[in-house]
Amino acid sequence: MTQTALVVGASGGIGRALAAALAARGTRVTGLSRADGLDVTKEPTVARALGALDGPFDLILVATGGLEIDGAGPEKTLKSLDPASFAAQVALNALGPALVLKHALPLLPRDRRAVFAALSARVGSIGDNALGGWYSYRAAKAALNQLLRTASIEIARTHPEAVVAAMHPGTVRTRLTEAYLGRHRAVTPDEAAANLLAVLDRLTPAETGGFFDWAGKPVPW
């Protein structure tokens, strides 16, 4: 049977690469982005875009997100913390993917393995935070991880073969990261997509609710 996949954020660097990699392996891919009227920070657009789709999808990937929003970059100090910027980060990087999951749940099959994954980031790890800074982005990604973890418990009751995962793609050369490259080795979107799909291919329902990096290693909460 031909596998089916939905990529939300398919116009972005990683999203586009994920859609292309899936199509290259013979998967039937549906892509959604702002060009389709989808804004993950606005629930009516999420409900409309996902409600118009015919499932089921074996794989749903959320590749949306932003490091800088409306010109506001990561804070280096606590005195730079701004309520509006913080709220924007949470809306885009935490609540947005959760709203996609809320409205995508009817599109996941109940009778076989299905995967829902969203791009998180290692900086969202509380246990792995040794540098500080980046308050809003860190907090938003930590919130995303908690939302996915919590949802995985509920979803397991109705979709026992489902896998819900938060994924750290590594440092990827995209518009989102271009001003912050240098500290870590960066990979191309195509490399990131290949790495992520290799991990998602082998995750099992026993690992649902986990937070994994591009090599398949668990990331501390």
Per-residue pLDDT of the chain (221 residues; tens, 9 = 90+): 679 999 999 999 999 999 999 999 999 999 999 999 999 999 999 999 999 999 899 999 999 999 999 989 999 999 999 999 999 999 999 999 999 999 999 999 999 999 999 999 999 999 999 999 999 999 999 999 999 999 999 999 999 999 999 999 998 876 665 555 566 678 899 999 999 999 999 999 999 999 999 999 999 99
**Closest Cα to residue 38, out of 21, 50, 30?**
50
pTM of the model: 0.94
Sheet holding 114-119, edge to edge: 28-32, 4-8, 59-62, 114-119, 162-168, 210-213
| 210 beta partners | 165
Residue that is written with structure tokens 């932003």 in the block: 66
Alpha-carbon gap, residue 72 to 79, rounded angstroms: 14
Question: Is there a contact between 39 and 15 (Cβ–Cβ < 8 Å)?
Answer: no
Under CATH, domain 4-213 is a member of which superfamily? NAD(P)-binding Rossmann-like Domain (3.40.50.720)
